[in-house]
Amino acid sequence: MTDISAVKDALRRQHIETPSWAYGNSGTRFKVFAQAGVPRTPQEKIDDAAQVHRYTGVAPSVAIHIPWDAVDDYAALAAHARDKGVRIGAVNTNVFQDDDYMLGSVTNPDPAIRKKALGHLLACVDIMDEVGSNDLKLWFSDGTNYPGQDDLRARQDRMAEALAAVYERLGDDQRFLLEYKLFEPAFYATDLPDWGTSYAHCLKLGPKAQVVVDTGHHAPGTNIEFIVAFLLREGKLGGFDFNSRFYADDDLMVGAADPFQLFRIMHEVVRGGGYDPATGVAFMLDQCHNIEPKIQGQIRSVMNVQEATAKALLVDVDALRAAQNAGDVLGANAVYMDAYNTDVRPLLAELREEMGLHADPIAAYRASGYLERVIDERKDGQAAGWGA
């Protein structure tokens, strides 16, 4: 039987990082829909992120994106976050929006453009030093659209060279998390298309290079929990970018399309020891709230991760292992499904009240009047949006 008090203790220790860019206006390549009250500055994005932590109790850090969140004084930005009850988490790089990067950034055939891209990556490590961040997030849109467009092997050599330079710049307590993406915007051959490519680069570099799994960056039908289990076993799972997708990289609220998949992933995390803070696995959201309210969308995603985690913690591991060892296929599946089918909402509501929080974070946020207040306060100026 599962110890409920132990489950609650584990859930209290949960840490889910929210992304600054999810609080601004965002959309698809076709349209960005503006909403009233969205932040105008990195400081206001942090203010909104602090609301998510205030009502969930498990979102104490916010990831920033450079140059979208560029400021003159990063120490002051970190102090602002502390004043709001949160801290700055991962620093995300951006080498995909400048015109120079049309043919790639660190894998571009032009050495001058490669130098520019590497300079940005190293500058982001400087920012990590200033804000006290341990994690640098790397994602590259680099790739080719047509056969023969560039030398595929040479591009891997260039990627390795850039990653090695970043690795050498990291401090003792810092690491980089290397993302991957199957396609888009490189449609023929993406330079980091899958977990295996990312893993190979990280394995060669050493312990400060780890893989980040974005749950929307896989081919349809990919068994993401297998990837999670493998990387955990190898000590190379650095973290997650949690989101949800129906068709491609939709960046929807995590658990929206397939909550069972989220449970399966969290089961492997718990089973593999990744839920232990000592492993350093980072649980981050990476979402584009296109039509839903920004802060409420983040709160809902945090709650969805909490529910999947609670169910994963409720798996009767002794009964499951016994059934597996006995070759009891249906018995093992029944233990698994019993945990998934458990309604954990009352448990989480009780836990929140024990933590001094409202049982329903969204209801509490709606009743707070925060959105109405910032709509009035932020009616002037330029609202932040995707890419800003």
Q: Of 383, 388, 387, which Cα lies nearest the Cα of 39?
A: 383
Residue 358 pLDDT grade (very low, low, confident, very high; cuts 50, 70, 90): very high
Q: 32-36, 102-106, 127-131, 329-333: lowest mean pLDDT where? A: 32-36
For 168-203, what is each residue's pLDDT tens digit? 999 999 999 999 999 999 999 999 999 999 999 999
Cα–Cα dist 174/128, whole Å: 9
Domain assignment present for 97: yes
For 283-310, what is each residue's pLDDT tens digit? 999 998 889 999 999 999 999 999 999 9
Tokens 């295996």 locate to 196
Contact, 160 vs 114, CB < 8 A?
no
Tokens 């829909």 locate to 33
Q: Of 364, 371, 356, 365, which Cα lies nearest the Cα of 57?
A: 356
Residue 32 pLDDT grade (very low, low, confident, very high; cuts 50, 70, 90): confident
pLDDT at site 28: 76
pLDDT at site 387: 62
Cα–Cα dist 151/143, whole Å: 10
Cα–Cα dist 257/152, whole Å: 34
pLDDT at site 1: 64
Res 388 pLDDT > 60: no
Mean pLDDT of 236-258: 94
Tell me how far CA of residue 136 lies from CA of 90, 174, 219, 239, 282, in angstroms: 6, 8, 25, 11, 12
For 103-146, what is each residue's pLDDT tens digit? 999 999 999 999 999 999 999 999 999 999 999 999 999 999 99
Cα–Cα dist 174/335, whole Å: 39
Q: Of 287 and 321, which is predicted with more confidence? A: 321
Count how many domains the chain has: 1
pLDDT at site 30: 79
Mean pLDDT of 254-272: 97
- Say how many Å lie between the first and final Cα of the chain, rounded: 50
Domain that holds residue 208: 14-377
Q: Of 316, 232, 328, which Cα lies nearest the Cα of 280?
A: 232
Domain assignment present for 382: no
Res 208 pLDDT > 60: yes
Beta-bridged to residue 135, according to DSSP, are 175
CATH number at residue 36: 3.20.20.150
Domain assignment present for 383: no
Beta-bridged to residue 178, according to DSSP, are 138, 211
Mean pLDDT of 77-90: 98
Beta-bridged to residue 16, according to DSSP, are 283
Domain assignment present for 6: no
pLDDT at site 374: 97
Domain assignment present for 66: yes
Domain assignment present for 5: no
For 211-238, what is each residue's pLDDT tens digit? 999 999 999 999 999 999 999 999 999 9
Domain assignment present for 320: yes
